Amino acid sequence: MHFIKYSLLASLLITTSLVSKEPSEITNSSWANLNLYRGIDQRGGPYTFNDTYVELEFGGRYEWLDMYGYIDYLDVLNDPNSDKHAQENFFADFEPRISLDYLLQQDLSFGAVDELFLAFDLYYGEAAPSMNKGLKVLWMGVGSNINIPWLGLSGVNLYARYIDENYGASNEGGFDGYDLHINWFKPLYSFSDKKFIAFQGYADYEFGSKMPQNAFEETYRTGDSFQSYFGFWLHDEKWALGYGLKLCNNMTQWKDGQNLNGKMTDTTGAAHYFNVTYKF
């Protein structure tokens, strides 16, 4: 793998650890969840798919480093009826953010903005058996924690995308487009100190891509895409149950409603996710 650009992230982490200031108002913490999901009408690629998969999800804060990530293993039940059976199984997402407040030893908060970051997001998707390329993408940009009315403190990041591999698409091997990202976690109702219902989720708008660049992509690909997950989870100390509604438009830059190999593409609409979670 020649994804040398990721060395930039490592060098930034090392440099920041040398110059970051001592923690003041930050509470260091870490967490990890093991999620079992059933996804119905999921979108990613030109067609919908149904699958049961397991996800290791983790995150936390340590002084200058704010971290979130997950690793998915698809078709975890080895189910012949899964649309992902005998296909690619592995997908990972790592989202480190480096506090500029710590890096510059300054309080950069203003208005509703609580903290500023250097923000990164690394995607890795395994190639399908019939393909020689998978997904290797690095987003990099600026991030923030913003107090949004009703939602509360939420992460808002703006990234530029470096695309090393994208399943053979024309935008591989360079910078292509941008992403505006928001994520939130809003407790809605508490039964006790450790049992509550939360509204949690995220939204991504990818735009400004140079794709499409050839005749195939003119017909089947787009220069932007949108997805947003709206989750309602019942949390307890060690367990959670959740339902999520995911809305997509031209998911992963595939046009909706086009005849591709005798089958209509389906990249715009709603997906449903049901999960049970164990908290470590």
d(CA 162, CA 165): 9
Of the CA atoms within 13 Å of residue 27, those in its CB half-sphere come to: 3
- The residue whose two tokens read 């449903």 is 272
Q: Which of 166, 234, 170, 157 lies closest to 199, judged by CA? A: 234
Q: Which of 76, 47, 67, 200 lies closest to 122, judged by CA? A: 67
Please state, for a pLDDT cut of 90, what percent of the chain lies above it: 88
Q: What is the pLDDT of residues 37-50, one digit of tens each?
A: 999 999 999 999 99
Confidence of residue 246 (pLDDT cuts 50, 70, 90): very high
Q: What is the pLDDT of residues 153-173, one digit of tens each?
A: 999 999 999 999 999 999 999
- The residue whose two tokens read 């870490």 is 30
Q: Which of 200, 195, 214 lies closest to 279, judged by CA? A: 195
d(CA 17, CA 88): 36
Q: Which of 130, 136, 140, 145 lies closest to 261, judged by CA? A: 130
Mean pLDDT of the chain: 92
Q: What is the pLDDT of residues 7-54, one digit of tens each?
A: 344 444 434 344 444 555 778 899 999 999 999 999 999 999 999 999
Longest dimension (CA), the chain: 60
d(CA 116, CA 102): 9
Worst-scoring range by mean pLDDT, 102-111, 126-135, 202-211? Answer: 126-135
- CATH no., domain 4-279: 2.40.230.20
d(CA 113, CA 122): 24
Average pLDDT over residues 121-137: 93
- Contact, 40 vs 48, CB < 8 A? no
pLDDT of residue 21: 42
